[in-house]
A and B are shown apart, each in its own frame.
Chain A
């Protein structure tokens, strides 16, 4: 078990390195001279050179990478071209709403998708299964901004149950935060849950064919106990894997959702930075999301051992 954890941790390091090289190149190989952009229209060539030197743009690409990387591991991602604030500070300011949105969405998704997927598998090809799967196709096919506006129209404008937009920080109390995030979380959840429900259905359906299910029935176990305690736990590995993969999709969704609901999170920061060509910020955000994804994958890998004793080795 400790060997498994260490192995997984060690495997994450080369991934991180590769990702950082890729992110560095992505921004540096993009056309356009950042120095000119930063200097603005009225700068003299001397000023541009000065900026170039300050940003180490006059050095070779590998040398630039070494500087950038050693700064990055010290949590120095440079400063925003637009506001001059450090990128890490900008990201840190925006983490809370994004984290809350992602976590709330994840909880809703698991609560909705896993029971529905399990029931669909248990009643495979029946009316219940077909209904659930039809909704899942719909959920997956309709873009987030469409469901977002529909939800706002219905629950905020018509019924007035939730605010139309905005975010209440945790300092206002968790209740207020959750109320402000309910509609965006549901909008995001619909897409995400559709994916997870389908995978849950497939995984549970496969496990239901296994001989041990017959043994459990022959022991007189109830359907609920068989499904939850035995089948779902056995089917856990593929389900958790897809939840992890789905997180990437969730990040994309966060950007759109934050814009629609006017939530001051990292998604909004991303959109603003891209619009202003604020390269250091864009780079920092991509790195942040990449590290987050790697950490989530690591957690998914480690959770395998929780579900399946055979993985622990």
Chain B
């Protein structure tokens, strides 16, 4: 059913604790993914994109990881309450996940056919032969040329782009209802990147699955996603339809990301790239004000007094910022923003 909420994460907080103390990796993260839509997580390294995805998969280590608050509900079921055994049926079954580095994401000593087939056997309980037939079908689906022979290939015999296709084939072989793609194109050439993104959007359309696409590249978001969630220091700072967020950025951090993009054509040479000043804050204690205040170009005294509430900026568009109007109007003339209005 299109448009129905499939995954909903509410007020999720996550801490890592160890000898070095406590680390607030996620604070009050809420979002939802509808059936059939592509939601993109954007933000710099360490902002919590991958940790959020790994939490949905329950793939984080058992020790030292705590969820002090919040819930992860997939198709009406609370994932945080699931046992490891129950999660093993969901991982690779209802939720498929692909990773950044296709070069190292396969076992080097088994054929790709075996690696796809073992997943199918595990989740569908079918015989080896049926699983192999399914593997071949999937390799054809992701447009691997000469799939009949490639099914017996070892990972090192394939190129990076080919391996990422095989990874997608492997994950989709069990008909997941949600695909989590964690920087699926970061390690690939630009041309191969476009092919992989096209493949993901095509398959989403044909198979009707939901997708969470994790990236640090706003260009990828613009090309691929329906909605975008901008994360910073373990929090959601802005979230909404891609056109709304890129056309009317309402959080200082989103503005910073957009301004940091290289411009096209002549403008590219005329001015240096803009950067966001300062560094990401330490997350060893929770601050009682806006987490971005120290780096924000739009900061006011109110920003340092309390954690801002989430503001509804427009239809399908929310930002955790007190100065959304100022941000939006300041970015009005930006080339990228104008293109989305």
Contact = CB atoms under 8 A, between A and B. Distances in A.
Interface in A170-226: 210-212, 214-222, 225
Interface string B110-131: 1000000011001100000000
B72 interface: no
A310 B156 contact: yes
Contacts of A215: 99, 105-106, 167
Interface residues of B, number: 29
Interface residues of A, number: 22
B104 A211 contact: yes
Q: Is the interface of B mostly helix, strand, loop or mixed?
A: mixed
A307 B167 CA distance: 22
Contact of B99 (A211, A229, A236): A211
A308 B108 contact: yes
Contacts of A217: 59, 91
B109 A309 contact: yes
Contact of A218 (B59, B106, B154): B59
A307 B107 CA distance: 12
A309 B141 CA distance: 26
Contacts of A168: none
A234 B108 contact: yes
Given A218-B57, A220-B123, A212 B104 contact: yes
A94 interface: no
Contacts of A216: 107
Contact of A219 (B91, B101, B108, B154): B91
Given A210-B104, A211-B99, A220 B92 contact: yes
A309 B148 CA distance: 19
Given A214-B99, A230-B110, A220 B104 contact: no
A200 B195 CA distance: 41
B92 A218 contact: yes
A8 interface: no
A308 B108 CA distance: 8
Nearest to A308: B109
B156 A212 contact: no
Interface of A: 210-212, 214-222, 225, 229-230, 233-234, 236, 307-310
22 contacts: A211-B99, A212-B106, A212-B108, A215-B167, A217-B91, A218-B59, A218-B91, A218-B92, A218-B96, A219-B91, A219-B92, A219-B122, A220-B91, A220-B119, A221-B118, A221-B122, A222-B88, A233-B109, A233-B110, A234-B108, A234-B109, A308-B109
Interface of B: 57, 59, 87-93, 96-97, 99, 101, 104-110, 118-119, 122-123, 154, 156, 167, 170-171
Q: Which 7 A-B pairs have the closest CB atoms?
A: A220-B92, A219-B92, A220-B91, A211-B104, A218-B97, A309-B154, A220-B88
